[in-house]
Chains A and B, each alone.
Chain A
Amino acid sequence: MAEVAPEDLVIDVRGLTKRFGDRTVVRDVALRVRRGEIFGFLGPNGSGKTTTIRMLCGLLEPSAGEGQCIGYDIRRDTAAIKRQVGYMTQRFSLYEDLTIRENLAFIARLYGMRGRRAAVDRTLERLGLTARQHQPAGQLSGGWKQRLALASCVMHEPKLLLLDEPTAGVDPKARREFWDEIHALAHGGLTVLVSTHYMDEAERCHRIGYIFNGRLLTEGSVADVVRDSGLVTWSVEGASLAPLRARLSGRAGIDMVVPFGAVLHVAGSDEARLAAAIAPFRDDPLLRWTRSPATLEDVFIRLMSAANGEGARP
């Protein structure tokens, strides 16, 4: 990331580490997120995304590391941080037995907002939930729950939005609308850090970071991340790909062979060695080879296996 003035950094942490007992769940994570940026936080299950986010918003005290969030020290000024951060937890965290309106009113009260009633009305209006405001929040469908949760996080006009897998289990249309909303918010100057497992969502972020086993393995724009990986990819289409996959796997110069539907991605980190490795199969008339850009998923899988190879597992 190019040098930025510190006052433009909404999140700036170094060496962030969290241990539970003798298990290190997050180790030495450095993150810098600029104002108005949408930062995607990716990583497999249990890699430490939620734990990192909790440290950023003052819910967990880091075992080591330091830094600031919206200009406040993440260890000392947790109260100030909490006032200006909107945190959407991984699980739906509104009260299912309270109505939509009661939920919003409760949150507005907690933040000590002025003009609560108007703010709640506005939020309901914007969500299009005015007619259903007296329904219990638990009765909403998954997509609506996510929208309501997001609305309740931004009602107090935070400067930073932390979204932990906000679109898990939501249909594609609702997801798209959700992301349109996130972009609109970012356009309005809000900084967003969002964790996700979806590659298409990663592509919609200004920058992304990939965390695995508690370590931030790579960071940058999607293009940067792909380029930095140095991964060269060929895709091959044709009949009987399964036996081909078996024969390609493990050949010198080939780092991985991953099936994507009717296509096989063959990737390696050295252009020439990869070309040599696939040469014997290039002339097969039943196969169609094309040189393709590496996908994010290729990069992540590659990063993961590389990290595993180094024995990075705790």
Chain B
Amino acid sequence: MRFFAWGRFVAMVVKEFTQMRRDRMTFAMMIGLPLVQLVIFGFAINMDPKHLPAAAIVADASPFGRSILGAMENSGYFAVTHLATSEAEADDWLQRGKVQFVVSIPADFSRALLRGERPAILVEADATDPSATSNAIAALEGLNRTALQHDLVGGLAGLKSGPPPFEVRIHRRYNPEGSTQYNVVPGLIGVILTMTMVIMTALAVTRERERGTMEALLATPVSPLEVLIGKIVPYILVGFIQVTIVFVVARLLFDVPMLGSSIVFGAVVLLFIAANLAVGITFSTVARNQLQAMQMAIFFFLPSIMLSGFVFPFRGMPTWAQAIGEVLPLTHFLRIVRGVMLKGTEWTHVMPDVWPLAAFLLVAVTIALARYRRTLD
């Protein structure tokens, strides 16, 4: 038996498209939903994550530098997790998302400080997600007055009065204006895809079973694989249309940039769509009716938005929530897309988030196919 015949596959695709077009309400939802969400989520959601990882470049090995880093950690918002030897190295970490901040203490810092020249330290923030960094940045305020309280004693006590002994320069990287839309738009692409892809496929297969058309379908020469792929392909196209809509509107309304490669972006979108479709198909093999399929889709959807770093900054979540988040495709998709769109991240740098996505897809497809076969009997 031929498991895949082009003609039968085309028959399925044509039929799915015709049904999709006929169902005006759903069709309008698929197109309208991205727009509505884009507007709704345009509002900022501010949370207060702490202990954000920071890298330090200490070019001046003096007690002052250590005290300043210590004071930053004491604020509760920073955790100096990495020590960089070069700016390039720190930059790389920032871009990969390994750290959220880079603190640079310049070479002649202590000398300039002692001379009363009010030298500056530089704090670079990954501002793609402003809600994650804004409180930390606010905590830097006044740090220049308090950080060196205990170091400036004896002959240096004079530096305590008058203007603060040093300056903190903040450099918001990737999103200089701290615009929340920058962060929300890439996230929204992921959220909308999760929602439509999972729900639509779960319903598309369950509907056939519920209405009794699946039985007649499977009594024809069409193979289960053709039915499955024939149902999936139209939704991949719908997914890309949605991405395009959000993308274009975001560009026009919020001026969200696309710094990275469109090819990497497209490839990741495809991978992500596939992962969600596989989840939808799996649900459809378990659900007895469309209502159940819908409920399962929502059951998957809620943790996806909550724990992926879309609503709450990922680093602000408790460890267990982060562990769940790491499993969800949306989490990795968000990281990749934020990186590619806002930071211009190269494909080699997104690989650490591509693997989990690919692994998820593999597992989901395996379950979907295994379950799908069983339900025929």
Residues of A within 8 A of B (CB): 54, 57-61, 78-79, 82-83, 85, 87-98, 102, 106-107, 109-112, 136
A125 to B232, alpha carbons, bound, how many Å?
A: 35
Residues of A within 8 A of B14 (CB): 106, 109
Q: How far is the CB of B216 from chain A (nearest CB, A)?
A: 4
- Please tell me if the beta carbons of A59 and B220 are within 8 angstroms of each other in the complex: no
- Please tell me if the beta carbons of A98 and B18 are within 8 angstroms of each other in the complex: yes
Of the 9-residue stretches B2-10, B75-83, B179-187, which lies at the interface with chain A?
B2-10
A89 to B5, alpha carbons, bound, how many Å?
A: 24
Residues of A within 8 A of B23 (CB): 97
- Decide if B1 is an interface residue (CB 8 Å cutoff): yes
Name the CB-closest residue of A to B5: A112
- Please tell me if the beta carbons of A92 and B221 are within 8 angstroms of each other in the complex: no
- Please tell me if the beta carbons of A93 and B216 are within 8 angstroms of each other in the complex: yes
Residues of A within 8 A of B217 (CB): 93, 110
Contact with A along B204-236 (1 / 0, CB 8 A): 000000011101111111100000000000000
- Decide if B149 is an interface residue (CB 8 Å cutoff): no
- Please tell me if the beta carbons of A83 and B219 are within 8 angstroms of each other in the complex: no
- Please tell me if the beta carbons of B377 and A109 are within 8 angstroms of each other in the complex: no
- Please tell me if the beta carbons of A98 and B221 are within 8 angstroms of each other in the complex: no
Q: How far is the CB of A11 from chain B (nearest CB, A)?
A: 15
Q: How far is the CB of B363 from chain A (nearest CB, A)?
A: 27
A82 to B1, alpha carbons, bound, how many Å?
A: 11
Name the CB-closest residue of A to B10: A109
A61 to B215, alpha carbons, bound, how many Å?
A: 14
Q: How far is the CB of A50 from chain B (nearest CB, A)?
A: 9
Residues of B within 8 A of A82 (CB): 219-221
Of residues 6 through 23 on chain B, the ones whose CB sits less than 8 Å from some CB of chain A are 7-8, 10-11, 14-15, 18-19, 22-23
- Please tell me if the beta carbons of B15 and A91 are within 8 angstroms of each other in the complex: no
Of residues 344 through 377 on chain B, the ones whose CB sits less than 8 Å from some CB of chain A are 376-377
Name the CB-closest residue of A to B8: A110
Contact of B1 among A79, A87, A89, A90 (CB under 8 A): A79
27 contacts between A and B (CB under 8 A): A57-B219, A59-B215, A59-B219, A61-B377, A78-B1, A82-B221, A87-B219, A89-B212, A89-B219, A90-B212, A92-B212, A93-B211, A93-B212, A93-B217, A96-B211, A97-B19, A102-B18, A107-B220, A109-B8, A109-B11, A109-B14, A110-B217, A110-B220, A110-B221, A111-B221, A112-B5, A136-B22
A149 to B219, alpha carbons, bound, how many Å?
A: 14
Contact of A89 with B15 at beta-carbon distance under 8 Å, contacts A109-B8, A110-B221, A112-B221 already known: no
Q: How many residues of B contact A (CB 8 A)?
A: 25
Q: How far is the CB of B205 from chain A (nearest CB, A)?
A: 14
Residues of B within 8 A of A93 (CB): 211-213, 215-217
- Please tell me if the beta carbons of A97 and B219 are within 8 angstroms of each other in the complex: no
Contact of A111 with B377 at beta-carbon distance under 8 Å, contacts A89-B215, A91-B212 already known: no
A93 to B209, alpha carbons, bound, how many Å?
A: 10
3 shortest A-B CB distances, which residue pairs?
A109-B11, A93-B216, A79-B1
Contact of A97 with B22 at beta-carbon distance under 8 Å, contacts A59-B215, A87-B216, A89-B212 already known: yes
A97 to B212, alpha carbons, bound, how many Å?
A: 14
Residues of B within 8 A of A109 (CB): 7-8, 10-11, 14
Name the CB-closest residue of A to B215: A89
Residues of A within 8 A of B216 (CB): 87-89, 93-94
Contact of A98 with B19 at beta-carbon distance under 8 Å, contacts A87-B219, A89-B215, A110-B11 already known: yes
A79 to B220, alpha carbons, bound, how many Å?
A: 9
Q: How far is the CB of B309 from chain A (nearest CB, A)?
A: 39
A82 to B22, alpha carbons, bound, how many Å?
A: 29
- Please tell me if the beta carbons of B219 and A98 are within 8 angstroms of each other in the complex: no
Contact of A112 with B15 at beta-carbon distance under 8 Å, contacts A82-B221, A89-B215, A93-B212 already known: no
